């Protein structure tokens, strides 16, 4: 049973094709698991179980009919974040304000997943307006980490990450404007990919904001690559989509001789000892795989890291103010705090974020990526963020009281939006929680980050057996 729940997408598709597994069997197992963990983990927003069972039966028949044209992801269970629009379905963006909103349009990357046969059976929770690094709201309640119920699965794509770690889906999608794919992936010990801006076509509300990307979340590097290949590519209805198509090859070459750089803290962040230890073990693994890996002591990034968050806070003024003015009774209690933070960044900060971004790239990061094929750093300082944490609450890391924003090392590469970033599990902390690392590639060089990711996964696998994942009893024991 557990083998089914934690089966990779690539394995499942192979078994579908060889008829040794039916899409019905897989989705039934996942639905059963979903029901068992619903009350404790709570990863799902709207659920479409009956519809998904029907779709699985159709997929089953397709696999049996040799004449039928199969989609690449035919019958594969998929969950989509509740902030991403799908025509004719509800997406609330984690807010009671939108509890009756039915979308008129499907995000083009999701459209491609659906068109390739993925079986959408549920939506995943996010915090209100996707504006927390935890995952709770008045709309959907509290989502918890399958590895430890008092800890957050991260946010905003917390439901997707939690569902993957709980064996409650095969693949998932997330979105990331400051780390919302990568931080939850790190928290839950799964794979999250933030593609370069323009690689995956976006909905009209996001397509002109370079910070916001949609991306795959999965348990293996190969599954994330498979999804990425379906989701990516130019699109006539997204003006900002990149023009070239990139395919991540099935068989990625090794990384022998590759020139990599790493930074423990980007010259800015505090890092818990156990997270640092696991990060360095992962770096050692890449050396074992044959890469030249060099440690960099970065500095001068403090202001640009601050402004990389500020640029997104600046664009949040309007919708946060609107929510507070027009819907004071139904918004989550933490929304006024979000506005307060947002208003602390003004248009001067925004302008400075764009001008400084260009200057820092020219002086620091451009030359860095000229010399090295990728940069590695941890994803979070420490996973010890409580499930119900608010934005301004502080957590002590190495004796320093920090907010969860200050513990999340991702935002800089939303500003440097063309860099592909893959977040992978780097190991387990002393508290038996996963922690992650980021592989940051050169602008628009998606393939290299997958190549490095696959090499790391081979040496330090995290999903090689269902025993690597939290037990059902630990997830349901309140």
Partner 1 sequence: MNIDDLCYMSAHEALERFRNLSLSPVELLEALMERANLISNTVNPFADCYFEEARERAKKSEVMYVQRTAHIGPLEGIPLAVKDLCEITGKRTTAGSLINAQNICEQTSPHVERLIDAGANVFARTTIPEFAWLFTTQSRMWGVTHNPWKIGISPGGSSGGSAAALGAGATTIATGSDSTGSIRQPASQCGVVGYQPPHGRIPNIGSSSFNGYAKSGPMTRTVKDCAIMANVMSGHDYRDHNSFIEPVQIELNDQNLAGMKIAFSMDLGCYEVSEDVQLETNDAVRALRNAGAKVEEVSVTWAADLIDLALGNQEVLFAAFLNETVKKHRDIVSDYVPQLCQTANSYPAEIYHQSILTAGKIWLEHLGPLFQHYDAFVMPTTAYTDIPATGWQKDTVNVNGKQYTDTDTTMAVIWNMYNRCPVMALPSGRASSGVPTGIQIIGRPHDDQTVFQIANAFEKEKPWLDCLERRPVLTPKPF
Hey, what's the torsion of the CAs at 332, 336, 338, 342, to 10 degrees?
Answer: 150
Binding residues among 231-250 for partner 1 as defined by CB under 8 A:
236-241, 243-244
Q: How many residues bind partner 1 (CB under 8 A)?
A: 48
Peptide bond into 156 cis (omega under 30): yes
Q: Which of 222, 183, 225 is nearest to 434 (CA)?
A: 183
Q: Which residue has the tokens 């002393």?
A: 430
Binding residue (CB under 8 A) for partner 1 from 358, 401, 430, 464:
358
Please answer whether residues 27 and 119 qualify as being in contact, where contact means their C-beta atoms are separated by less than 8 angstroms.
Answer: yes
Q: Which one of the listed residues 15, 34, 81, 95 is annotated catalytic?
A: 81
Q: Which one of the listed residues 156, 308, 382, 426 is annotated catalytic?
A: 156
Between 326 and 355, name the residue whose CB sits nearer to partner 1.
355
Between 72 and 368, name the residue whose CB sits nearer to partner 1.
368
Q: Which of 138, 142, 133 is nearest to 333 (CA)?
A: 138
Binding residues among 305-324 for partner 1 as defined by CB under 8 A:
314-315, 317-319
Residue 103 touching partner 1 (CB under 8 A): no
Between 48 and 350, name the residue whose CB sits nearer to partner 1.
350
CA distance 275 to 280: 9
The least CB distance from residue 355 to partner 1, in Å, is 4
Residue 359 touching partner 1 (CB under 8 A): yes
Instruction: Mark 338-357 with x for binding to partner 1 (rule: CB under 8 A) and - for no binding.
Output: --------xxx-xxxxxxxx
H/E stretch holding 462 reads none
Stretch that binds partner 1, among 250-258, 366-374, 428-436, 469-477 (CB under 8 A): 366-374
Residue 207 touching partner 1 (CB under 8 A): yes
Stretch that binds partner 1, among 55-63, 184-192, 198-206, 288-296 (CB under 8 A): 198-206
Residue 370 touching partner 1 (CB under 8 A): yes
Return the SS3 of 117: coil
Please answer whether residues 129 and 93 qualify as being in contact, where contact means their C-beta atoms are separated by less than 8 angstroms.
Answer: yes
CA distance 405 to 441: 23
Instruction: Please say if 394 is a catalytic residue.
Output: no
Return the beta strands (E) in 248-303 as ranges.
259-262, 292-295
The least CB distance from residue 315 to partner 1, in Å, is 4
Instruction: Please say if 83 is a catalytic residue.
Output: no
Between 136 and 352, name the residue whose CB sits nearer to partner 1.
352
CA distance 146 to 152: 9
Q: Which of 315, 311, 338 is nearest to 411 (CA)?
A: 311
CA distance 478 to 468: 21
The least CB distance from residue 185 to partner 1, in Å, is 24
H/E stretch holding 163 reads helix 158-165
Residue 105 touching partner 1 (CB under 8 A): yes
Please answer whether residues 160 and 172 qualify as being in contact, where contact means their C-beta atoms are separated by less than 8 angstroms.
Answer: yes
Crossing angle for the helix pair 446-459 and 221-231, to the nearest 10 degrees = 160
Residue 202 touching partner 1 (CB under 8 A): yes
Instruction: Please say if 423 is a catalytic residue.
Output: no
The least CB distance from residue 350 to partner 1, in Å, is 7
Residue 418 touching partner 1 (CB under 8 A): yes
Write out the catalytic residue numbers. Answer: 81, 156, 180
Binding site for partner 1 (CB under 8 A): 105, 202-209, 236-241, 243-244, 314-315, 317-319, 346-348, 350-359, 361-362, 365-367, 369-370, 416, 418-419, 443-445
């Amino acid at each position: 049973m557990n083998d089914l729940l934690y089966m990779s997408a690539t394995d499942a598709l192979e078994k579908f094709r060889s008829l040794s597994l039916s899409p019905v069997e897989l989705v039934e197992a996942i639905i059963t698991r979903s029901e068992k963990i619903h009350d404790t983990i709570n990863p799902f927003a709207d659920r479409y179980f009956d519809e998904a069972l029907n779709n699985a039966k159709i997929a089953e028949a397709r696999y049996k009919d040799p004449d039928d044209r199969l989609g690449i992801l035919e019958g594969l269970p998929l969950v989509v974040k509740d902030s991403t629009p799908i025509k004719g379905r509800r997406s609330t963006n984690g807010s009671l304000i939108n509890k009756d909103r039915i979308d008129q349009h499907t995000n083009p990357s999701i459209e491609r997943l659906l068109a390739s046969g993925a079986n959408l059976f549920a939506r995943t929770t996010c915090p209100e307006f996707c504006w927390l690094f935890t995952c709770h709201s008045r709309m959907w309640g509290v989502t918890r980490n399958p590895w430890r119920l008092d800890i957050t699965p991260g946010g905003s794509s917390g439901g997707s990450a939690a569902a993957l770690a709980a064996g409650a889906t095969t693949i998932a999608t997330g979105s990331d404007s400051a780390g919302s794919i990568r931080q939850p992936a790190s928290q839950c010990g799964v794979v999250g990919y933030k593609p370069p801006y323009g690689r995956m076509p976006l909905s009209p509300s996001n397509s002109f904001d370079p910070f916001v990307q949609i991306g795959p979340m999965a348990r293996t590097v190969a599954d994330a690559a498979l999804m990425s290949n379906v989701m990516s590519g130019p699109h006539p209805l997204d003006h900002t989509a990149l023009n070239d198509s990139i395919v991540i090859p099935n068989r990625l070459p090794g990384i022998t001789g590759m020139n990599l750089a790493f930074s423990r803290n980007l010259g800015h962040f505090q890092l818990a000892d156990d997270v640092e230890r696991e990060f360095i073990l992962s770096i050692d693994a890449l050396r074992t795989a044959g890469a030249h890996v060099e440690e960099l002591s970065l500095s001068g990034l403090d202001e640009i890291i601050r402004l990389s968050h500020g640029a997104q806070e600046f664009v949040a003024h309007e919708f946060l103010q609107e929510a507070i003015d027009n819907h004071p009774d139904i918004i989550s209690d933490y929304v006024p705090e979000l506005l307060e933070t947002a208003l602390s960044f003004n248009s001067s900060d925004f302008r400075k974020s764009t001008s400084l971004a260009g200057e820092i790239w020219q002086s620091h990061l451009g030359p860095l990526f000229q010399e090295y094929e990728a940069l590695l750093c941890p994803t979070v300082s420490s996973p010890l963020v409580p499930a119900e944490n608010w934005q301004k609450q502080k957590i002590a890391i190495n004796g320093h009281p920090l907010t969860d924003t200050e513990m999340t090392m991702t935002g800089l590469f939303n500003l440097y939006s063309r860099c592909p970033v893959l977040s992978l599990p780097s190991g387990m902390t002393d508290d038996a929680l996963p922690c992650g690392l980021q592989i940051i590639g050169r602008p628009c060089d998606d393939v290299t980050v997958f190549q490095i990711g696959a090499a790391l996964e081979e040496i330090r696998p995290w999903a090689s057996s269902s025993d690597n994942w939290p037990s059902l009893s630990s997830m349901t024991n309140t």
